[in-house]
Amino acid sequence: MIEKKSKEKYSISELAGEFNISPRSIRFYEEKNLLNPKRTKGNQRIYAKSDRARLKLIMRGKRFGYSLEEIGEMIGMTSTDFDEIGQINKSLEYGIRKLKEIREAKAELEMMEQDMLKVKDKLMIRLKEIEGANKQAGEGR
Amino acid sequence: MIEKKSKEKYSISELAGEFNISPRSIRFYEEKNLLNPKRTKGNQRIYAKSDRARLKLIMRGKRFGYSLEEIGEMIGMTSTDFDEIGQINKSLEYGIRKLKEIREAKAELEMMEQDMLKVKDKLMIRLKEIEGANKQAGEGR
DNA sequence: ATTATATATTACGTTAACGTAAAGGTTAAG
DNA sequence: CTTAACCTTTACGTTAACGTAATATATAAT
């Protein structure tokens, strides 16, 4: 049997559809060296699973407010050109820094969540106040 | 005794320094109606605690990748012009949506964290491999 | 009062991250 | 083989979020 699993190759618009972005964006990410898909003999882009995974990482970074440059540095970390110990150590350091950032961001998100909950509570209280006042005043129609 | 606590008023550059942004940015946020500080009789901006708190929210939103427009909608939620129940309900809905987003973002951050940790592990393993190889080969100098 | 800073407004410049349009090749379907 | 639906590159346009510079007051320090 020949090797073939589920979905091995994707076209640019397939990925665009899946991630809800434009093909232009994907090409743009390639311009910035965040992606590097193979091509058909007719020069059209074909994305492998690994490319799709990278795009996923890109989108994740974006959703979190990272610039493409930062994302490039982050996912560059996963590239497979570690030939020197120095490189690995640099990557490790970088990763550790990013981990710190991520954890800080998580903490901030939790603060935001708390803020939101507080505002929500206030709104609820205010609602009840108004309802109470209306009840008191007997404002039917 | 006259009422006066700790730090009641801030100048634009004080806030800029505190949040590590430029005065220009702060003025820009004001242009976008995200801030609305009082003025001195000489027309210079004075920021009260509440203004500082708002700026804090703005920065938090930014760090999380929200656009100023979105942030405006979010912190607009905390403004005190809720005179109608409908308004309150709308705000509540909005807040709940945002809460969902925040929780999703938290989940994503956790995924990123896991990714990072995986990559880190791989790098560590690779490092050991190389070290092991060097030991084997006895590559001193 | 006189500087030295800080701030205000106005207005043009810049960068990232695409959007959009033109002009043409490629692939899948009939 | 001929389209229709995609895809390619090239290149100029756009928007958000400021940067920067010029010119003019304001406030703080001496």
Please state, in angstroms and as integers, the Cα–Cα distance from residue B94 to each residue in B53, B71, B74, B79, following that order. Answer: 20, 12, 8, 14
What domain range includes position A58? 9-80
State the total domains in chain A: 1
The CATH number of residue B25's host domain is: 1.10.1660.10
Query: Residue B34: inside a domain, yes or no?
Result: yes
The top-scoring range by mean pLDDT among A36-40, B53-57, B76-80, B129-133 is A36-40
**Closest CA in chain B for residue A66:** B65
Contact indicator for A124, B92 with CB cutoff of 8 Å: yes
| Amino acid A80: pLDDT | 45
What does the pLDDT look like over B85-132, one tens digit per residue?
666 677 778 888 888 888 888 888 888 888 888 878 877 887 787 766
- The reply to whether B39 falls in a domain is yes
Asked whether residue A54 is assigned to any structural domain, the reply reads: yes
Strands A9-10 and B38-39: unpaired
Which one is predicted more confidently, A123 or B44?
B44
Closest Cα partner for A49 from A5, A80, A2?
A5
Helix spans in chain A (H):
12-19, 23-31, 49-63, 68-76, 85-137
Residue of B nearest to A93 (CA): B120
* Domain contains A116: no
Q: What is the pLDDT, as a whole number, of residue A31?
A: 95
Residue A43 belongs to a domain: yes
What average pLDDT does range B34-39 have in this prediction?
96
**pLDDT score for B67:** 92
pLDDT, tens only, A82-135:
345 666 677 778 878 888 888 888 888 888 888 888 878 877 887 787 766 666
Compute φ and ψ for B40, nearest 5 degrees. -80, 170
Cβ atoms B107, B86 nearer than 8 A = no
Which pLDDT does position B126 carry in this prediction?
A: 74
Cβ–Cβ < 8 Å for A71, A57:
yes
User: Scanning the structure block, which residue is given the tokens 């991520």?
Assistant: A102
pLDDT at A25 over 90: yes
- Kindly state whether residue A4 falls inside one of the protein's structural domains: no
Q: In this structure, is residue B117 part of a structural domain?
A: no
The pLDDT confidence band at residue A77, using thresholds 50, 70 and 90, is low
Q: CA at B48, C1' at C9: how many angstroms apart?
A: 22
**What whole-number percentage of chain B has pLDDT above 70?**
78
Contact B109, A102 (CB under 8 A): yes
Residue B85 domain-assigned? no
Confidence of residue B82 (pLDDT cuts 50, 70, 90): very low
**What distance in Å separates the CA atoms of residue A99 and residue B116, rounded to the nearest whole number?**
7
**pLDDT class of A40 with cuts at 50, 70, 90:** very high
Q: Measure CB to CB from residue B82 to each of A66, A113, A126 and give the nearest one.
A: A126
pLDDT of residue B42: 94
- Distance CA(B31)–CA(B25), nearest Å, equals 10
Computed over every residue of chain B, the mean pLDDT equals: 82
Task: With a cut of 60, say whether residue A1 has pLDDT above it.
Answer: no
Work out the angle at residue B35's Cα, subtended by the Cα atoms of residues B29 and B36, and round it to the nearest 5 degrees.
130
- On the question of pLDDT at A36 being above 60, the answer is yes
Average pLDDT of the segment spanning A21-44? 96
Q: How far is A96 from chain B (nearest CA, A)?
A: 8
Distance CA A89, CA A101 (A): 18
What pLDDT is recorded for position A82? 39
Cβ contact B94:B77 at 8 Å? yes
Whether A95 sits inside 8 A of B111 (CB atoms) is: no
**The pLDDT of residue B38:** 96
* Whether residue A141 has pLDDT greater than 60: no
- Over residues A41-48, the mean pLDDT reads 96
Strand D contact nucleotides, protein CB < 7 Å:
6-9, 16-20, 25-27
CA distance to partner chain B, nearest, from residue A129 (Å): 11
